[in-house]
């Protein structure tokens, strides 16, 4: 392990002491990812690891050594997967990852391997899912970092923040986490100080019962009358969507499944947004094997694009001659022969 580009004396000492482990890690990742090059690794050693050592040089040697090994291994993996050193593919990743290492403070030394892996996964998944949502999530994450009692609580709160940022696949786990989440963390996530004055179980029960209910309205005992909402999810694969032809939607085992006859996805949707999780054809074929009771839904849709519930009806021409439409108790999903999107309809 070359140290010519490094000036921090503690880092130089630990590089020498851990030379054998570091070289073994490099050889392993070089074998796994042939594109890993020494020059790139040395660059990030001085660009990411050394600044972190400069900032935390008063910490114990054992703590810094564990941090070095964890971050060095993660850098090798990130370089190998083209998350680092290839800004054209994931231009958002590098700066945000460095930002989180720089602002990790005590958290990054509590369990370095866990923190570094978790934050890298979060940045990639949120940025890749919906880039404009990454910065607001990070602002909340840095605030949570200052208040959480440990890394476990920090990343549990981070999941809830990801859910309210639009990653609807975290809805169920998010509702479970907020049952016991510290009220200060919940205030940061929801950006609402009134949350400390409510009956939390009632709040959660209202959120669980209605996926279209916003936290602001769930706090209130009586919310305003609801209107039919129509949102689009995904689109053509050539424009960042998921489908090569206009998809169709089914309801199997109480789960919305969207497919284009080649790719299959579970659709998660609620007031915060929607998310498509890819599944294999084998998993798809295994669904819906048992007969279920007929679901009573709020919604009906007719071939002229008329959507209605017990209180109102609207005409929505893009769904005239819809190709598929299914509903559960709270959500209607429909597809059109003229669109690569899924139309997600609810009351909000």
pLDDT tens digits for 162-184? 999 999 999 999 999 999 999 99
The domain boundary, picked from 179, 209, 239, lies at 209
Q: Residue 292 above 60 pLDDT?
A: no
* pLDDT class of 29 with cuts at 50, 70, 90: very high
Same domain, 310 and 182: no
Query: What is the percent of the chain with per-residue pLDDT over 90, rounded to a whole number?
Result: 75
pLDDT at 197: 84
Q: Residue 119 above 80 pLDDT?
A: yes
Average pLDDT on 121-144 reads 93
Sign, CA torsion 268/342/330/134: positive
- Within a domain: residue 13? yes
DSSP SS3 for 279: strand
Any bridge partners for residue 69, and if so which?
none
pLDDT at 347: 87
Average pLDDT on 292-316 reads 84
In terms of Cβ atoms closer than 10 Å to its own Cβ (0-12, 13-18, 19+), residue 46 is middle
- Within a domain: residue 1? no
Same domain, 95 and 134: yes
How confident is the model over 212-234, as pLDDT tens digits?
A: 999 988 988 776 778 899 999 99
Q: Which residues contact 242 (CB under 8 A, 6 or more apart)?
A: 234, 235, 258, 260, 263, 265, 276, 278
Same domain, 72 and 201: yes
Region of 71 (left: φ > 0; alpha: ψ -120 to 50; beta: rest) is: alpha
- Within a domain: residue 3? no
- CB–CB of 114/151 below 8 Å? yes
The domain boundary, picked from 156, 182, 209, lies at 209
- CB–CB of 6/46 below 8 Å? yes
Same domain, 20 and 160: yes
Same domain, 157 and 299: no
Average pLDDT on 34-48 reads 92
How confident is the model over 201-215, as pLDDT tens digits?
A: 999 999 999 999 999
- Within a domain: residue 220? no
Same domain, 82 and 200: yes
Same domain, 131 and 240: no
- CB–CB of 112/150 below 8 Å? no
Give which of 181, 159, 184 is closest to 171, Cα–Cα. Answer: 159
* CA dist., res. 171 & res. 80, Å (int): 32
Same domain, 333 and 196: no
Global confidence as pTM: 0.87
- How many domains is the chain built from? 2
The domain boundary, picked from 209, 237, 259, lies at 209
Q: Residue 262 above 80 pLDDT?
A: yes
- Within a domain: residue 69? yes
pLDDT at 106: 87
- Within a domain: residue 4? no
Mutual angle of helices 61-80 and 9-17, in 10-degree steps: 80
Residue 94: HSE in the Cβ half-sphere, 13 Å Cα cutoff: 15
pLDDT at 266: 96
Give which of 193, 182, 233 is closest to 216, Cα–Cα. Answer: 193
- Domain assignment of residue 271, given as a range: 228-347
pLDDT at 253: 84
Same domain, 201 and 273: no
- Within a domain: residue 223? no
Same domain, 239 and 204: no
How confident is the model over 44-103, as pLDDT tens digits?
A: 999 999 999 999 988 999 999 999 999 999 999 999 999 998 766 788 999 999 999 999
- Within a domain: residue 32? yes
Average pLDDT over the chain, rounded to whole? 91
Average pLDDT on 317-327 reads 94
Strands 342-347 and 255-259: unpaired
Same domain, 173 and 309: no
∠ CA 232-280-133, nearest 5°, is 40
Same domain, 49 and 147: yes
Give which of 209, 215, 302, 295 is closest to 255, Cα–Cα. Answer: 295
């Amino acid at each position: 392990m070359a140290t010519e580009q490094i000036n921090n004396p503690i880092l130089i000492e630990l590089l020498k002491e851990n030379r054998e482990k570091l070289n073994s890690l490099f050889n392993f990742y070089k074998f796994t990812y042939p594109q890993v090059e020494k020059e790139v690794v040395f660059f990030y050693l001085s660009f990411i690891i050394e600044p972190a050592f400069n900032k935390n040089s008063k910490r114990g040697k054992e703590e810094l050594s564990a941090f070095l090994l964890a971050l060095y291994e993660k850098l090798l993996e990130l370089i190998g997967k083209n998350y680092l050193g290839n800004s054209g593919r994931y231009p958002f990743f590098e700066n945000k990852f460095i930002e989180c290492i720089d602002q990790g403070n005590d958290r990054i030394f509590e369990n370095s391997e866990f923190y570094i892996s978790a934050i890298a996964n979060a940045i990639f998944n949120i940025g890749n899912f919906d880039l404009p949502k990454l910065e607001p999530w990070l602002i909340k994450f840095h605030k949570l970092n200052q208040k959480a009692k440990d890394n476990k609580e920090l990343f549990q709160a981070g999941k809830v923040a990801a859910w309210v940022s639009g990653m609807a696949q975290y809805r169920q786990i998010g509702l479970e986490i907020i049952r016991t989440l510290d009220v200060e963390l919940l205030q940061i996530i929801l950006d609402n100080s009134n949350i400390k004055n409510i009956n939390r179980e009632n709040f959660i029960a209202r959120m669980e019962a209605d996926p279209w209910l916003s936290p602001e309205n769930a706090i209130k005992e009586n919310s305003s009358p609801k209107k039919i909402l129509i949102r689009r999810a995904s689109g053509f694969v050539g424009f960042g969507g998921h489908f090569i032809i206009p998809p169709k939607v089914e309801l199997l085992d109480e789960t919305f499944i969207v497919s284009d006859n080649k790719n299959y996805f579970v659709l998660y949707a609620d007031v915060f947004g929607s998310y498509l999780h890819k599944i294999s054809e084998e998993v798809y074929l295994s669904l819906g094997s048992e007969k279920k009771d007929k679901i009573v839904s709020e919604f009906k849709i007719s071939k002229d694009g008329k959507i209605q519930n017990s209180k109102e009806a609207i005409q929505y021409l893009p769904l005239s001659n819809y190709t598929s439409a299914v509903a559960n108790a709270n959500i209607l999903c429909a597809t059109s022969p003229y669109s690569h999107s899924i139309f997600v309809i609810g009351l909000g």
